Amino acid sequence: MIQDQIAPLLRAAILAAQQAGSLPAFEISAIPVERPKQEEHGDFATPVALQVTKTARLAPQKIASAIIEHLPLGPDSMLASAEIAGPGFINLRLGTPWLVRHVDSILDAGERYADPDIGHGRPAQVEFISANPTGPLTVGHGRGAVIGDTLGNLLQAGGYAVSREYYFNDGGLQMKILAESVRLRARQQLGEEIEFPADHYQGDYISAIAADLLAERGPDAVSLDWTVLRDYATAAIFAEIRRTLDRLGIHFDVYFNEMSLFDRERPGNIWEIVEALRERDMAYEADGAIWFRATAFGADKDRVLVRSSGEPTYRLPDIAYHVDKLKRGFDLVVNVLGADHIAQYPDIQAAVGSLGYDSSKLHVVTNQFVTLVRDGKPVKMSTRRATYVTLDELLDEVGVDAMRYFMISRSPDSQFEFDLNLAAEQSEKNPALYIQYAHARTAGILLRRAAEKGISFDPRADLSPLGHPAEIALIHQILRLEETLVACIRRLEPQHLAFYATDLATTFNVFYRDCYVLDPENIPLSQARLKLVKATQIALARALHLMGMQAPDEM
């Protein structure tokens, strides 16, 4: 990042000022370099003079002045100018020739442009969706799916060895309800008069599974053990889930089966976890149940791990599952969870830590609920009733690219109104299409219009003719991609990539409006601008692909 190149220049200037006697000797810690909120304050700024005031025992403006005096400034240098602002901030402006030269480095990097080396090949896991196999994926699942997949793309771009994982949650009471829902629908289809319970799964897919079951097994299917019905329904539902994921372009490396954690022969099973917690006095028995001592970690009450009936609660396999993740050697474990699951996570993290594992490697990204809005009115959803909206229905209406863009265009922890009208809009009013149109425009210039004008793209063309304010603004914006990726990765916040792509498309459109790209009367300038268009195309394509979207050449 540019900030990482500026900080050493500031450090060297401070040392030079100390050697010259302009500044007293003092230790220099990390030097922050930030982008000012207002463009008129420069390209970058640093508060370092304010931070060392106490140790230097000088007024911050005097410190800033001494630093500036020893900075390598000049029109052909990285830093063209520096000035003191306010109580002692140093505002910095980059040199235009230095900026322009970066266009060649962008072209040389190609499709790997701006990938930051953060992970250094370390293993990382992203677990997301992990929906119970009790029905089709809904819009809510879709948000977690896109957030998780995009985070996987970002971590991969950042140098992590990424494994995407789906936790196949096929345990618990909901699976018995699923089996009985299929049984009752099958009995109805055989002519029985049955009042279907309100708490059972009532979507049309249950009736379809029941009909297939009867066609394969005959009327006796209604007498099958509930576990057989569960397995039959689960297989049918999960096959549909995988088709939806294929449609979204999401593929998992691992499908982890929850029920495997109940196997007493398997190392690290839930019963071994209970015993390990007991040995550390983190689990105890009371009222016939087994409890986790969550109050030792600040919880308001202890949590039941095994009910008095002997049935484990959902926390116990979740603890075992996260222990298993760390045993597999992941340095970074990211869980993308719906807001309805977030309350349990502190208990899981505490339990994992109490068992001697490094729980700081566990990170949770909470995705809040999605409200579909059409014509300004909410579209209701329910996972058990027939009024929910499936993810496939949303994809049918707005398409994969628009759906993916909209789902990461807000912070995951904020509730989100998904505007169906805007997402389905087939014009540049749709922000997803707005970015894709910009990419298609770059392709049109490079692949068609340049040839029509008789101007060839020359990768060796001189870039020195560039200098128009719109050109420099565009180079600045392209160069922001790496710091955007770093922010997304370190904060686990993919929405910054969506913001970046929109800003880049806007900046490119301003450049296209203000700068005549293909001028047969000025071939050197045209060829330099073609290289800038190519650099823009690279950055737009990189952002779109990381969001899981297409980068079309024509629209």
Provide the β-strand partners of residue 255. Answer: 166
Contact 367, 139 (CB under 8 A): no
CA distance readout (Å), 531 to 88, 281, 442: 39, 66, 11
pLDDT digits (tens, 9 = 90+) for 37-89: 888 889 999 999 999 999 889 999 999 999 999 999 998 899 999 999 989 99
Mean pLDDT over 373-391 rounds to: 73
Question: For the packed helices 315-327 and 345-354, what is the interaxial angle rounded to 10 degrees?
Answer: 50
Residue 158 has pLDDT above 60, yes or no: yes
The pLDDT-based confidence of 382 (bands split at 50, 70, 90) is low
Instruction: Determine the pLDDT at residue 384.
Output: 45
Instruction: Determine the pLDDT at residue 170.
Output: 77
Instruction: Determine the pLDDT at residue 89.
Output: 94
Separation CA 292–CA 274 (nearest Å): 9
- Amino acid type, 175: M
Three-state secondary structure along 331-360?
CEEEEEEEHHHHHHHHHHHHHHHHCCCCHH
pLDDT digits (tens, 9 = 90+) for 282-296: 999 999 999 999 999
Provide the β-strand partners of residue 306. Answer: 290, 312
Tell how far CA 60 is from the center of its chain. Answer: 40
Phi, psi torsion values for 139, nearest 5 degrees: -60, -40
Contact 291, 303 (CB under 8 A): yes
Contact 495, 411 (CB under 8 A): yes
Separation CA 451–CA 58 (nearest Å): 62
Instruction: Determine the pLDDT at residue 174.
Output: 84
pLDDT digits (tens, 9 = 90+) for 241-300: 999 999 999 999 999 999 899 999 999 999 999 999 999 999 999 999 999 999 999 999
Phi, psi torsion values for 371, nearest 5 degrees: -110, 120
User: Please, which residues have CB within 8 angstroms of residue 368's CB and are 6 or more apart in sequence?
Assistant: 339, 412, 413, 414, 415, 416
All domains of the chain, ordered by start, with CATH? Answer: 2-94 (3.30.1360.70), 173-226 (no CATH), 428-546 (1.10.730.10)
Phi, psi torsion values for 466, nearest 5 degrees: -70, 140
pLDDT digits (tens, 9 = 90+) for 78-111: 999 999 998 999 999 999 999 999 999 999 999 9
Separation CA 533–CA 421 (nearest Å): 32
Instruction: Determine the pLDDT at residue 386.
Output: 52
pLDDT digits (tens, 9 = 90+) for 450-499: 999 999 999 999 999 999 999 999 999 999 999 999 999 999 999 999 99
Residue 126 has pLDDT above 60, yes or no: yes
Place of tokens 């630093």: 67
Instruction: Determine the pLDDT at residue 202.
Output: 84
pLDDT digits (tens, 9 = 90+) for 290-334: 999 999 999 999 999 999 999 999 899 999 999 999 999 999 999
The pLDDT-based confidence of 401 (bands split at 50, 70, 90) is very high
Instruction: Determine the pLDDT at residue 228.
Output: 95
Contact 211, 187 (CB under 8 A): no
Question: For the packed helices 391-398 and 139-157, what is the interaxial angle rounded to 10 degrees?
Answer: 70
Separation CA 108–CA 535 (nearest Å): 10
Question: For the packed helices 270-279 and 315-327, what is the interaxial angle rounded to 10 degrees?
Answer: 90
pLDDT digits (tens, 9 = 90+) for 187-225: 999 999 989 998 899 888 999 999 999 999 999 999 999
Instruction: Determine the pLDDT at residue 387.
Output: 57
- Measure the CA angle with vertex 521, ends 444 and 523; round to 5°: 60
